[in-house]
Amino acid sequence: MADSREKIIHVCGLFNLQGEFRSFEVINSGHINTTYRVYFWRDGELKDYILQKVNTYVFRDPVAVMANISSVTEFIRAKIKATGVTAKRNVLHYSTTDCGEYYTIVGEGEFWRCCRYIDDSVSFEQTDDLKIIEESGKAFGEFQTYLSDFPVEKLSIVIPHFHNTVRRYDALRDAIGENAAGRVDEVKDLIEGYLALEELATRSYRLQKAGVLPLRVTHNDTKTSNVLFDAKTREHLSVIDLDTVMPGLVAFDFGDAIRVAASTVDEDEKDLSKVALDLQKYEAFTRGFVGVLGDMLTEDEKKTLALGAVAMTAECGVRFLTDYINGDKYFRIHYPDQNLARARCHLTLTEDMVKKLDEMQSIVNKYCE
Ligand code: GN1
Ligand code: MG
C-alpha cells in the first residue's frame, strides 16, 4: 500500500528538502523497494526527488547498502570532476539528514533515502530503439571502467551469494522440497525445463570459482530501466539503482542487461510465441558495452560474455519460479500469477538464447577485435 501524503511530507522534511511540497507519485517499476517521485516548488520551478523506502526483508543491512552507494558515487563523482566537467547529471546525489546521514529511520524501522532526480532525464522499461539500447550498453560499460580501480575491500556484501547461480538452483530444489504454497505440481514442466539448463546456466559461476574469470566491481542489476538518458538527445547520463554494487562478473552485468534489453517482450509476457532474443538489439547493446570496455577484458572474459546472458536469464527465471513456489515472498507482484508468468517467459527466453549462443558470441568477438 502506498504511504500517505502526510508521511511523504514528513520524510522529505527529514532530508531538509527546500521549497514548497507540491505532489508525489508512485514509481512502480522496481520489484523490491517502494519508490516515489516527489515535487517541490522552489525559485519559480518544480524540483523533483526520488524518495525510497528500502525493503529491509531483502536488504538486511540497509546502512551497509548506503555506505556502499555513497562510496561508489563519491568515487565516480571525483573521477568525472577530474576531467574538468560537472558530475551533476552523470552520477546520483543523495540527500543527507541533519545528522549528515544518507538515510533516516522512520517509525518501526522504516528505512528511507532520498536522491535528486537528474534534470531532464528519462528512463525506459523496454525499448525497440537501437540507439537507446547501444547507449545503455555504454552506460554500464562506463560504470565498470569508472570502478575498475575502486578499492573493493570498501564494499560490503549486502546480499551474500546474490549471483551465485549454483545456490539459486539449490534454493529452487529446497523450495520444491518444502512446497510451502502447494504449487509444485502445477509447475512441473517449468522445473524440468530449468533443470535441463542447469549445467550451462551455472557454467560462468563455476568458471569464476575455478579462477578462470576474475571478480570485478559490478552493478549486478543492469536492466534497461536502471539507466537514465538525456530527454532530448537520448544519450546516456547515469546508471541508477546501486543497491547491489558488489564484486561480480562482467559477464553477469552484460548478461543481465541482455535479458531485458535484447528481449522482444516484457519480463512477464504470457504469449510465449512472442518471446525471443532479438539479435539486432543484442548487437546494439554489445556494440555499446564492449566498445567501452574492450581492452579491459581478459581473453577468457571475452570468450564467455554471451554465456553470461544464459546464466543471468536462467538465474532470474529460477528466482521467479522459486518465489512462486514459496508463495511470492520476495518479488513484488501486481497480479496473482505474475511470478509464474515471469518464470515461464524467462525459460523460453533462455532456451532461445541457448539456440543462438554461437551467433551471440560471434557478435561479441566482432566488437572485441
Ligand atoms: C529486482 O527491484 P529491481 O527491479 O531493481 C532484483 C533483481 C532482478 C530484478 C528482476 C535486489 O530488481 O535482481 O533481476 O528484480 N533485485 C534484487 O526484474 O533482488
Ligand atoms: Mg534493483
Cell representation of residue 266: 516484457
CA distance 238 to 89: 7
pTM of the model: 0.96
> Whose C-alpha lies nearest to ligand 1, atom 7?
221
Q: Could you tell which of 223, 240, 319 is best to mutate to test the pocket of ligand 1, judged by most ligand atoms within 8 Å of the CB?
A: 223
Per the CB < 8 A criterion, the answer to whether 309 and 254 are in contact is: yes
pLDDT attached to residue 210: 98
Sorted by where each begins, the domain ranges of the chain are 5-119, 130-368
Looking at all shown ligands, the one closest to residue 256's CA atom is: 1
Q: What is the CATH number of domain 130-368?
A: 3.90.1200.10
Do the beta carbons of residue 345 and residue 269 sit within 8 Å? Answer: yes
Q: Which three cell numbers stand for residue 296?
A: 579491459
Mark the residues whose beta carbon lies below 5 A from ion ligand 2.
221, 241
Q: Judge contact between 274 and 265, C-beta under 8 A.
A: yes
Alpha-carbon Rg for the chain, nearest whole angstrom, is 20
241 C-beta closer than 6 A to ligand 1: yes
pLDDT recorded at residue 369: 86
Ligand 1 and 163: CB distance under 6 A: no
- Please tell me the distance between residue 18's alpha carbon and the centre of ligand 1 in angstroms: 32
pLDDT one digit per residue (tens) for the chain, 369 residues: 789 999 999 999 999 999 999 999 999 889 999 999 999 999 999 999 999 999 999 999 999 999 999 999 999 999 999 988 888 899 999 999 999 999 999 998 999 999 999 999 999 999 999 999 999 999 999 999 999 999 998 999 999 999 999 999 999 999 999 999 999 999 999 999 999 999 999 999 999 999 999 999 999 999 999 999 999 999 999 999 999 999 999 999 999 999 999 999 999 999 999 999 999 999 999 999 999 998 899 999 999 999 999 999 999 999 999 999 999 999 999 999 999 999 999 999 999 999 999 999 999 999 998
135 touches ligand 1 (CB under 6 Å):
no
Signed CA dihedral, 332, 337, 341, 343: sign only: positive
Whether residue 221 has its Cβ less than 6 Å from ligand 1: yes
Opening angle at CA 297, ends 291 and 302, nearest 5: 85
Q: Is the CB of 268 under 6 A from ligand 1?
A: no
Fold that domain 5-119 belongs to in CATH? Phosphorylase Kinase; domain 1 (3.30.200)
Cα angle 152-331-27, degrees, rounded to a multiple of 5: 85
**Per-residue pLDDT at 40:** 97
For ligand 1, atom 18: residue with the closest CA: 31
Query: Measuring from atom 15 of ligand 1, which residue has the nearest CA?
Result: 31
- 64 closest CA partner among 54, 77, 52: 54
CA–CA gap between residue 298 and residue 32 (Å, rounded):
34
- Write the residue with the smallest CA distance to atom 3 of ligand 1: 30
Beta strands in the chain (DSSP E): 20-27, 34-42, 45-54, 104-106, 110-116, 121-122, 216-218, 227-230, 236-239, 246-248
